[in-house]
Amino acid sequence: MTPAISLSGIGHAFDGAVALAAVDLTVMRGECMALLGPSGAGKSTLLALMDGRLRGWSGAAEVLNAALSAHQPPRRQMRADTGFIFQDFALVERQSVYQNVMNGRLGRTSHWGSLWGRFNDRDHAVVGAVLRDTGLADLAERRADQLSGGQRQRVAIARCLAQEPKLILADEPVSNLDPAHAEKVLELITGAARKRGIGVVFTSHQPELSQRFADRVVGLRDGRILFDHPAGLVSESDIAGLYHGAIPDPQLRVVS
Amino acid sequence: MSRSVVWLLLVGAVVWALLTADVEMAKLGKAGPRLWDFLTRMVPPDLTIWREMLRGLAETLRIAILGTLFAVILSAGFGILASETLMRPAVWRPVRALLAMVRAIPLILVAMLMVGAVGLGPLPGILAITFHATGMLAKFYAEAIDNVATGPVAALESAGASKLQQLRYGIWPQMAPVILRDTVFRFELNLRESLVLGIVGAGGIGLYIQTYVRSFQYEKAASVTLAIVALVLLSELVNTLLKKRFS
Ligand SMILES: Nc1ncnc2c1ncn2[C@@H]1O[C@H](COP(=O)(O)OP(=O)(O)OP(=O)(O)O)[C@@H](O)[C@H]1O
Ligand SMILES: [Mg+2]
Taking chain A (256 residues) in consecutive chunks of 10 residues, what is each chunk's mean pLDDT? Answer: 91 94 94 95 96 95 95 94 94 96 96 93 96 94 93 94 96 86 90 93 94 95 94 89 70 48
Q: Which CATH number fits the domain that encloses residue B236?
A: 1.10.3720.10
Closest to B247 in 3D by CA, of A17, A248, A201, A93: A93
Name the stretches of chain B with pLDDT < 50.
Answer: none
Interchain proximity B162–A76, CB inside 8 Å: yes
Determine the straight-line distance between the first and last CA of chain A, rounded to whole angstroms. 50
CA of A74 to the centre of ligand 1 (A): 22
Could you tell me whether strands A66-67 and A82-85 are parallel, antiparallel, or unpaired per DSSP bridges? unpaired
Alpha-carbon distance B88 to A203, whole Å? 36
pLDDT at A249: 53
pLDDT at B1: 66
- Does residue B38 lie within any of the structural domains? no
C-alpha dist (Å) from residue B173 to A96, B82, B179: 11, 21, 10
**Sequence letter at residue B97:** A
H/E stretch holding A67: strand A66-67
Across A183-213, b (16+ Cβ under 10 Å) vs e yields ebbbebbbebbeeeebbbbbbbebbebbbeb
Cβ neighbours, 10 Å, residue A167: 21
Closest to A138 in 3D by CA, of A97, A102, A103: A97
C-alpha dist (Å) from residue A123 to A92, B118, B156, B245: 19, 57, 16, 29
Alpha-carbon distance B92 to B79, whole Å? 9
Alpha-carbon distance A197 to A192, whole Å? 9
Domains of chain A in start order, with CATH, are 3-93+164-252 (3.40.50.300)
pLDDT at B11: 94
pLDDT at A83: 96
pLDDT at B93: 97
Cβ neighbours, 10 Å, residue B239: 14
Closest CB from B159, B162, B164 relative to A104: B159
The domain total for chain B is 1
- Does residue B27 lie within any of the structural domains? no
pLDDT at B247: 64
The answer to whether the beta carbons of residues B205 and B195 sit under 8 Å apart is yes
Residue A222 Cβ inside 6 Å of ligand 1? The answer reads no
CA of A46 to the centre of ligand 2 (A): 9
Q: What residues pair up with A14 in beta bridges, in sequence order?
A: A17
C-alpha dist (Å) from residue A185 to A64, A157, A190, B87, B149: 25, 9, 9, 41, 25
- Does residue B135 lie within any of the structural domains? yes
Alpha-carbon distance A154 to A97, whole Å? 10
Chain B residues with CB-CB distance to A87 below 8 A = none
Residue A19 Cβ inside 6 Å of ligand 1? The answer reads yes
Where helices occur in chain A by DSSP H, the ranges are: 43-50, 76-81, 97-102, 111-115, 121-133, 149-162, 179-196, 207-213, 236-244
> For ligand 1, atom 14, which residue shows the shortest CA distance?
A42
Please give the distance of CA B79 from its chain centroid, rounded to a whole number. Answer: 18
The answer to whether the beta carbons of residues A129 and A94 sit under 8 Å apart is no
Chain A residues with CB-CB distance to B164 below 8 A = 111, 115
pLDDT digits (tens, 9 = 90+) for B138-194: 999 999 999 999 999 999 999 999 999 999 999 999 999 999 999 999 999 999 888
Closest CB from B152, B154, B165 relative to A91: B152
Q: What is the ipTM of this complex?
A: 0.89
Region of A149 on the Ramachandran plot (φ > 0 left; ψ -120 to 50 alpha; else beta): alpha
Where helices occur in A120-174 by DSSP H, the ranges are: 121-133, 149-162
pLDDT at B46: 82
**Sequence letter at residue B221:** A
CA of A37 to the centre of ligand 2 (A): 10
- Does residue B29 lie within any of the structural domains? no
pLDDT at A256: 43
Q: What residues pair up with A202 in beta bridges, in sequence order?
A: A34, A170
Give one DSSP letter per residue of B15-32, joined into a string. HHHHHHTHHHHHHHHHHH
pLDDT at A244: 87
C-alpha dist (Å) from residue B27 to B19, B21, B73: 14, 10, 50
Structural domain harbouring B74: 49-246
Helix (H/G/I), strand (E/B), else coil: A12: strand
Alpha-carbon distance A217 to A203, whole Å? 10
Contact status of B168 with chain A (Cβ, < 8 Å): yes
- Does residue B19 lie within any of the structural domains? no
**Sequence letter at residue B98:** L
